[in-house]
Chains A and B, each alone.
Chain A
Amino acid sequence: MKQVIQDSLSLLMLLFLLAGCSVEPKPIAYGAANCAHCSMTLSDKRYGAELVNDKGRAYFFDSAECLAAYVVDQPELGNKAAFLMVTNYTNPEELIEAQKAYFLQSEALPSPMGMNLTALAEAATAGEMQQQLGGQVLSWDQVLLAVQNDEKFK
């Protein structure tokens, strides 16, 4: 039985490999990539974001609010996306899934596009930072709503 499972698993792996282009988040090239929503050059490592579509093509954004605005503008792209990634503020090398992230919205931490959103991986960290800096903690869906209702992005 075990053997069968292993075999089928390895077969699946093989199929995946044969499928060619892998669909996964790509590292963000700061200083070279331009934001797909606002055309600005990505330059702040703490705020970069990324959308990977179902074909494996990556779109880069300079901030979570630009990613949100892009998804709000083009729902079909947003719904079909394989990954929506944002940068974990406490560890700028790490991309985390937007749906699982906690967003601290605080005036003490201005983000690149004026919505003051900082993405964090842990609820506890978000809570601590909120204690220190004030503001509110939002989920990804609340961020989408906030962007939708934001004057600047209309």
Chain B
Amino acid sequence: MKNLSNTFILTCTFILLLLAPNAFGSTLKVCKTCRYTSVKQAVQKANPGDTILVSGGVYRESGIDINKPLTLIGQNNAVIDGNFTGQLLTVTADNVTILGLTLKNVATSYTRDDAAIRVMGRQNIRIVGNTILKTYYGIYLQNSEKVLIKNNNILGDNTDRNESALGNAIHLYYTDEVEISGNNVQGHRDGIYLEVVKNSQVHRNTSHKNLRYGLHFMFSDGNTYTYNTFRKNGAGVAVMYTRNVRMEHNTFEDNWGAASYGLLLKEINNSVIHHNLFRRNTTAIHMESSSRLDIKHNDFERNGWAIKLMTTCIEDTFRLNNFTGNSFDVSTNGKSQYNYFENNYWEKYTGYDLNKDKVGDVPYRPVSLYAMLVEQVPPSVMLMRSFMVNLLDNMEKVLPSIIPEHLVDKFPLMKKIDHDNDRKLTQVLR
């Protein structure tokens, strides 16, 4: 009996599979010699569920309204050139796929926020493998859900536009359940901007040379960011007013400038920052009013300041991080400290390990007197590495009086942590 029902189910599935192609509707072709010579025309004529194949060539159009479920596919370099006459694709239906097109030339428009692709109040939208050049906003979604934005290449042109005249490459507003992965974004105001976005994943994107932030999110709880690279932006990532964020395996590089950060945290709670690399940033992490963060297994290499920890931060834990080649490891703006440092590797540590348990026998205080001084009197940075400063710092190390007494790593590690092979070590330490 059981066998019979199984066979029945299998047969049904097979028949359904055979019928499946019919569910996709028919295919309309657009090319210079086809029945349809413009994308707009084909979209108007198509039935819900149809596929539109756009062949190579340049189509000078804008204001294409996709108002039914369609699959729009660009082949061998199909280009839709808006010629600065407004928004290119506006999606006003659910279940739309936009694949492999090149979209270009959208002018700055302060009142309308024109984009190459704009989606409003829709779901099940897939935007995959497109190239978007010289637009004001690249991909702009609002009040939508279940969206995939994958493998797109979005290049803004910030040579003749200032910050105000640039929009964001990928801009999400009140949109949930989004996957943003494998995109390359550059030359916009913010590379990826999320405002009030929930339950979303941002993976393996490269965001660089943006005027403001590589990734910027506000009021967006419960999202995950992994394996992204943020390079040469005004600041790498800015995170504000958000809870339950996971940031893992990201690279923050070369975010240099008077007001530049690798990662700017403001009012972030209950979040995780693991296995990231911060290299050559003016300030790798700047933290304000952020509490209950778990900061573990990160590498801080050659930054100006590795961590700027404002006194408004409480109950943050820093464990098993490497601090190498930073001008200042930790800097703070006051004496009160309610954060926890343990088992980090500090290159500047000069203590010893007589009992050979791989943990230094002398506690390490990462905040130097000079770091405190620079925080209070920024111009004093010009005294860096002077004889006097070194003297003061060493005095302070021996007799701490000005630096926060409780900001201390009691068990600093003697060797740099190899994050992949440290499981044994952590077991020993426990």
List residues of chain A with CB under 8 Å of any chain B CB.
Answer: 30-32, 34, 38-41, 43-46, 92, 110, 113-114, 152
Main secondary structure of the interface of B (DSSP, over half): strand
- Going nearest first, the 7 A-B pairs with the smallest beta carbon separation are A45-B164, A43-B163, A31-B163, A34-B259, A43-B212, A41-B212, A152-B241
A contact residues around B218 at 8 Å (CB): 113-114
CA distance A27 to B282 in the complex (A): 27
B contact residues around A44 at 8 Å (CB): 163-164
B106 CB-CB contact with A under 8 Å:
no
A contact residues around B36 at 8 Å (CB): none
Assess whether A43 is in contact with B173, with CB atoms less than 8 Å apart. no
Chain A nearest Cβ from B286, distance in angstroms: 8
CA distance A39 to B288 in the complex (A): 10
Assess whether A43 is in contact with B164, with CB atoms less than 8 Å apart. yes
A contact residues around B245 at 8 Å (CB): none
B contact residues around A40 at 8 Å (CB): 238, 240
Given A31-B211, A46-B110, A38 and B164 contact (CB-CB distance below 8 Å): no
The residues in B between 143 and 194 inclusive whose CB is less than 8 angstroms from any CB of A are 162-164, 173, 189
Residue from A32, A34, A114 within 8 A of B195 (CB atoms): A114
Assess whether B266 is in contact with A39, with CB atoms less than 8 Å apart. yes
Given A113-B218, A152-B241, A43 and B211 contact (CB-CB distance below 8 Å): yes
**Chain B interface size, under 10 / 10 to 19 / 20 to 34 / 35 or more:** 20 to 34
Chain A nearest Cβ from B130, distance in angstroms: 24
B235 CB-CB contact with A under 8 Å:
yes
Residue from A39, A46, A92, A152 within 8 A of B219 (CB atoms): A152
CA distance A114 to B213 in the complex (A): 17
B196 CB-CB contact with A under 8 Å:
yes
Given A30-B162, A44-B164, A114-B196, A38 and B266 contact (CB-CB distance below 8 Å): yes
List residues of chain B with CB under 8 Å of any chain A CB.
Answer: 110, 162-164, 173, 189, 195-196, 211-213, 218-219, 234-235, 238, 240-241, 258-259, 264, 266, 286, 288
Assess whether A114 is in contact with B219, with CB atoms less than 8 Å apart. yes
Chain A nearest Cβ from B221, distance in angstroms: 12
A contact residues around B259 at 8 Å (CB): 32, 34, 41
The chain A residue sitting closest to B261, CB to CB, is: A39
Assess whether A110 is in contact with B163, with CB atoms less than 8 Å apart. no
Residue from A38, A92, A110 within 8 A of B173 (CB atoms): A110
The chain A residue sitting closest to B286, CB to CB, is: A39
Interface centre among A38, A39, A41, A110 (most CB of B within 10 A): A41
Q: Beyond the given A30-B164, A152-B219, A152-B241, please list 15 additional residue pairs across the A-B interface where CB-CB is below 8 A.
A: A30-B162, A31-B162, A31-B163, A32-B258, A34-B259, A38-B240, A39-B264, A39-B286, A39-B288, A41-B163, A43-B212, A44-B164, A110-B195, A114-B195, A114-B218
CA distance A45 to B108 in the complex (A): 13
CA distance A91 to B279 in the complex (A): 41
CA distance A105 to B212 in the complex (A): 26
A contact residues around B288 at 8 Å (CB): 39
Assess whether A43 is in contact with B189, with CB atoms less than 8 Å apart. yes
B contact residues around A30 at 8 Å (CB): 162-164
B contact residues around A39 at 8 Å (CB): 238, 264, 266, 286, 288
The chain A residue sitting closest to B162, CB to CB, is: A31
CA distance A152 to B267 in the complex (A): 10
Question: Can you report 12 residue pairs joining A to B where beta carbons are below 8 Å apart?
Answer: A31-B162, A34-B259, A38-B266, A39-B238, A39-B266, A41-B212, A43-B163, A43-B189, A43-B211, A44-B163, A45-B164, A110-B173
Interface centre among A31, A39, A46, A114 (most CB of B within 10 A): A39
A contact residues around B110 at 8 Å (CB): 46, 92
Given A31-B162, A31-B211, A113-B218, A41 and B266 contact (CB-CB distance below 8 Å): no
A contact residues around B258 at 8 Å (CB): 32
CA distance A143 to B97 in the complex (A): 42
CA distance A113 to B212 in the complex (A): 15
A contact residues around B286 at 8 Å (CB): 39
B contact residues around A114 at 8 Å (CB): 195-196, 218-219
A contact residues around B162 at 8 Å (CB): 30-31
CA distance A45 to B258 in the complex (A): 21
The chain A residue sitting closest to B265, CB to CB, is: A39
Chain A nearest Cβ from B317, distance in angstroms: 23
The chain B residue sitting closest to A43, CB to CB, is: B163
CA distance A92 to B219 in the complex (A): 27
CA distance A30 to B163 in the complex (A): 7
Chain A nearest Cβ from B61, distance in angstroms: 26
Chain B nearest Cβ from A105, distance in angstroms: 16
Chain A nearest Cβ from B219, distance in angstroms: 6
Chain A nearest Cβ from B215, distance in angstroms: 13
B contact residues around A38 at 8 Å (CB): 240, 266
A contact residues around B163 at 8 Å (CB): 30-31, 41, 43-44
CA distance A132 to B354 in the complex (A): 76
Residue from A41, A45, A46, A92 within 8 A of B235 (CB atoms): A41
B contact residues around A113 at 8 Å (CB): 218
CA distance A153 to B270 in the complex (A): 18
CA distance A40 to B240 in the complex (A): 10
A contact residues around B238 at 8 Å (CB): 39-40
A contact residues around B213 at 8 Å (CB): 41
